[in-house]
Structure 1
């Protein structure tokens, strides 16, 4: 299948498309969900505006940051300031619940279906909503994990307790020096377990999840599968979007569905077996 074919754009999240998606959900033998940042945004995990301004007023005053995401890449002069910022960032995006129960609504639709979730999100919202962790593959990491910055070994470390301590003890945009995390093996500074470059650690848990995902795909490749893409953008199409198109194309029993606030294009070769709904994911799930 060539991805250089022309694409067809959605004309909007009409009732006809929602009804068709509902029917496909009910009739599918299995549902493979591909979830991107748009799903968490619909749940209220926004990275700019009021939420950013309420949690980082001091960093905004000092540096003029406009959003939470880009501020995370700023080259802070000290690790104490770096982790003062990141401990807040981690806590509100990983350990606090999303403002809206969009993930819970999705689980309610999938609870009685054979399903699996492939996601580029790193905020743990699926497990917080009650999804079985054995049906999840977080490809890009987890805000709740640290790794060695070198990395000297392929292991990750839970950061919940340390993050809460950093929050409680930071002052004037800095944490105490003794709270700066270092690798327990080589002593190098720890860093986030987020896929940004070739140093990303794929630990044992990552590989087990990858194997479960591949097994789910293999076992259902000829069945009536609904490939349900939710809020996936164009930054990393090779992880969810392109594979979903490919698997739908190869399986005549499959249907591809895309729900997105922005782009919902599909290759013209899938026009007859695709559902495209442009709209807020939480609203669409409520209609379903």
Structure 2
């Protein structure tokens, strides 16, 4: 990685009238929110011993024999991924770069790291749900419910891979089981808060239409490109004053149609953000040194 591409993105960030951040799982991974390895092993040793799970994510799909065991697993999952701070300050570093800009965040992440880092709640749109919310599993109605207090009790009171039966969450309307408010199938509930955030995102984009805007993609993979990646490409293509920037550990690229207005950087997101901050704030002239640069345009 050379100084020029870091300076190009730092200058673009400084000159833009607005910034739209599109964030995927790679951003949280850079912040240390690993679902495997030591973090998984330290928090789920008993489940690993019994079921031989290889990582946190795959364990979440296991058909546990009872709701008590299901929520024993999921309460720990929720607690460390939603209510504990990320191990590394990547989200706070990102906020420092955009806090004085007119910004909005569109994210497929469900771990709430943006809000815990201090991002303005009214500038966030969690499109795929939130680990901190439950919904009726059926669902019989379109409301979601905060789970913080019950999850805390589940974690504290579970024994032998089970929570007390009285803590199993039940729908207050139909009495059936509750589920996570995560978009994994057609039962996902888009509640009133989801629609308000969607409208705020739409209004933000409309307000900055045709202006000098940076569409900044961070850690977005190929699982759901229709939510962030493809719309960012399209909106940049339609606005000659817009710039698209992509930072990802692997496969960071901009389409050839955005030649001259696309910036792509492969490397650790946290490390790249630190270099952007250094370049933008101090312009020390030190050479950036990250692997696999792929500037486009």
Runs (4+) of structure 1 exceeding 4 A deviation are none
Q: In the TM superposition, what whole-angstrom CA distance separates every residue of 1:268-288 from its partner, at most 9, and x where no partner exists? A: 111211000000010011111
**Structure 2 partner of 1:231:** 219
Using the TM superposition, give the Cα deviation of residue 17 of structure 1 relative to its aligned residue in structure 2, in angstroms: 1.4
Q: Residue 45 of structure 1: SS of its match in structure 2?
A: coil
Using the TM superposition, give the Cα deviation of residue 47 of structure 1 relative to its aligned residue in structure 2, in angstroms: 0.4
Q: In the TM superposition, what whole-angstrom CA distance separates every residue of 1:201-222 from its partner, at most 9, and x where no partner exists? A: 0000000000000001111110
Q: In the TM superposition, what whole-angstrom CA distance separates every residue of 1:70-120 from its partner, at most 9, and x where no partner exists? A: 110111110000000000000000000001111100110001100000000
**Structure 1 partner of 2:73:** 85
Using the TM superposition, give the Cα deviation of residue 223 of structure 1 relative to its aligned residue in structure 2, in angstroms: 0.2
Q: Residue 276 of structure 1: SS of its match in structure 2?
A: strand
Q: Is the aligned partner of 1:155 residue 2:138?
A: no
Q: Is the aligned partner of 1:171 residue 2:159?
A: yes
Q: Distance in 2 between matches of 1:277 and 1:221?
A: 26
Answer whether contact 1:248 1:256 (CA < 8 A) is retained.
yes
Answer whether contact 1:103 1:125 (CA < 8 A) is retained.
yes
Answer whether contact 2:254 2:263 (CA < 8 A) is retained.
no
Answer whether contact 1:47 1:67 (CA < 8 A) is retained.
yes
Q: Distance in 2 between matches of 1:61 and 1:18?
A: 46
Q: Distance in 1 between matches of 2:169 and 2:257?
A: 51
Choose which of 265, 268, 271 in structure 2 pairs with 1:277: 265
Using the TM superposition, give the Cα deviation of residue 18 of structure 1 relative to its aligned residue in structure 2, in angstroms: 1.1
Q: In the TM superposition, what whole-angstrom CA distance separates every residue of 1:238-286 from its partner, at most 9, and x where no partner exists? A: 0000000000000000000000001112211112110000000100111
User: How is 1:25-174 mapped onto 2 (pairs within 5 angstroms)?
Assistant: 25-174=13-162
User: How is 1:260-275 mapped onto 2 (pairs within 5 angstroms)?
Assistant: 260-275=248-263
Aligned residues: 276
Q: Residue 260 of structure 2: SS of its match in structure 1?
A: helix
Q: Distance in 1 between matches of 2:34 and 2:203?
A: 33
TM-score after normalising by structure 1:
0.95
Q: Residue 183 of structure 1: SS of its match in structure 2?
A: coil
Q: Which runs of 5+ in 1 are unaligned?
A: 1-12
Alignment RMSD, CA only? 0.6
Q: Is the aligned partner of 1:240 residue 2:240?
A: no
Q: Distance in 1 between matches of 2:104 and 2:158?
A: 39
Q: Distance in 2 between matches of 1:281 and 1:267?
A: 20
User: How is 1:188-227 mapped onto 2 (pairs within 5 angstroms)?
Assistant: 188-227=176-215
Q: Distance in 2 between matches of 1:271 and 1:81?
A: 53
Answer whether contact 1:14 1:277 (CA < 8 A) is retained.
no
Using the TM superposition, give the Cα deviation of residue 14 of structure 1 relative to its aligned residue in structure 2, in angstroms: 3.3
Choose which of 186, 197, 200 in structure 1 pairs with 2:174: 186
Q: Distance in 1 between matches of 2:259 and 2:179?
A: 43
